[in-house]
Amino acid sequence: MILSVLCTQPARFNAIQRRLGGGITHKALTQALRRLERNGLVTRHVLATSPVAVEYAITPMGQTLRAPFAALLDWTVQHGGALSDAQATYDARMALAA
């Protein structure tokens, strides 16, 4: 999800968090961005502003994931209903077994 946000343009930390819909904590986003940077998928650039800001951008290697991510998103949209149905069936079966 983070890479999909950065595919279009570099972004600051708070902008990434907003675009993800607030579904990720500050700590979790920080850890994920560090892993992505360590793996060479994003770069981190400190901006000399007051206060200091950090901007993240996707690397050329990270860009190679655009097509697989798009395919995964398409699959999820196509099969999301079936996944929800399967989860509901499983949950109902587990509730009966308990």
**Cα 31 to Cα 86: distance, rounded to the nearest angstrom:** 32
pLDDT at position 15 is 93
Provide the pLDDT for residue 35. 97
What pLDDT, in 10s, does the model give residues 32-91?
999 999 999 999 999 988 888 899 999 999 999 989 988 988 998 899 999 999 999 999
Cα distance between residue 20 and residue 74, in whole Å: 18
Encoding tokens for residue 37?
Answer: 């940077």
pLDDT at 23 over 80: no
Domain positions in the chain? 1-64, 65-98
Question: How long is the chain?
Answer: 98
CATH for 1-64? 1.10.10.10
* CA angle (49, 54, 56) in 5-degree steps: 140
Q: Is the pLDDT of residue 22 over 80?
A: no
Question: From the CA atom positions of the chain, what is the Rg in Å?
Answer: 18
- Please tell me the predicted confidence (pLDDT) of residue 13: 92
